[in-house]
Structure 1
Amino acid sequence: MKKLLLLTLILLSIYTVNAQQDKHKQVLRHVVMFGWKEGTDAAYITKVVTALNDLKHKIPTIKSFEWGTNNSPENLNKGLTHCFILTFISESDRDAYLIHPDHKAFVALLNPAPEKVTVFDYWANK
């Protein structure tokens, strides 16, 4: 009985360690998509894109950043034209980004605001 209990504890310990290691392999993606009002100045959009891109150099919890514009032929983007993907290691890193003064300054720059904004966060699965 003692051997069975010991074996159970060992297996549980191995499972717990593996689960924690798997969690560390995952990354948290923060997806932000914008759609602009008809006639929004292209220079303003460029300024917003540049400011968001610059955050990766100002906020150390951002592990990676990429962005692009929609080129899907399916016409399912519902007016969203720009997509930004920021990667974080943890929810606390993402949360620190959200309240960081440089992120708040970026949000203040969004005036006029995009017509459409979607934000979606998820733990990446492979």
Structure 2
Amino acid sequence: MKAVTLICGFLCLVCLNACFDREASNTPEIPKYLKTEKTQKLKKLRHIVLLKFKETATQADIYKVEQAFAELPSLIEQIREFEWGLNNSPENLNKGYTHGFLLTFDNEKDRNLYLPHPDHKAFGKILQPILDDVLVVDYWTNTN
């Protein structure tokens, strides 16, 4: 009976120790299925661009920028997905940014080819005269 009690006590200590070790590290255990090569290939590199225009920008100027940006996917093969839209959040936290653009790339190499691409640079020349500010965030998608 003492042996059973000792074994049960030992197993409880091992389990408690494992729980405390995981909590202490604050790092959740990553399931093996998230580490597979197949899952890595499913991740996408997102490139978010938020635009804030000068008060002097006309609707015609802004329309020209919208059209030029929307044309980039047909000119730059590295862009896998593209979408854009106008802010309509009721929270009023947009800080003057009115336009959001989302570009998707397969990898950082493709994104890095897009940035200095001549068509991207040409777009920048259309945008620059009416641009008040721009905010860009890139991230890898996480689906867990």
Shorter-chain TM-score tier: 0.7 to 0.9
How many pairs are equivalent? 111
Structure 2 residue 94 is matched with structure 1 residue 77: yes
Task: After superposition, give the CA deviation of every residue in 1:67-93 in whole Å (9 maximum; x if it has no partner).
Answer: 000000000011100000000000000
Pairing partner for 1:63 from 61, 67, 80: 80
% of aligned pairs identical?
Answer: 49
**Range 30-39 or range 55-64, more displaced:** 30-39
8 Å Cα contact 1:34-1:116 kept in structure 2: yes
What is the TM-score normalised by the length of structure 2? 0.73
What is the TM-score normalised by the length of structure 1? 0.83
Higher relative contact order (CA 8 A, sep 6+): 1
Q: CA deviation at 1:20?
A: 2.3
Task: After superposition, give the CA deviation of every residue in 1:9-58 in whole Å (9 maximum; x if it has no partner).
Answer: xxxxxx6xx53221110000000000112231111101011001000001
**Range 19-28 or range 116-125, more displaced:** 19-28
Once superposed, what is the RMSD of the aligned Cα atoms? 1.5
Alignment of 1:21-100 (within 5 A): 21-100=38-117
Bigger radius of gyration:
2
Q: What residue is the counterpart of 1:118 in the other structure? A: 135
Runs of 4+ in structure 1 deviating by more than 4 angstroms, as ranges, are: none
List alignment gaps of at least 5 residues for structure 1.
Answer: 1-14
Q: Secondary structure at the match of 2:138?
A: strand
Q: What residue is the counterpart of 1:3 in the other structure? A: none
8 Å Cα contact 2:56-2:130 kept in structure 1: no
CA–CA separation in structure 2 for the residues paired with 1:124 and 1:19: 15
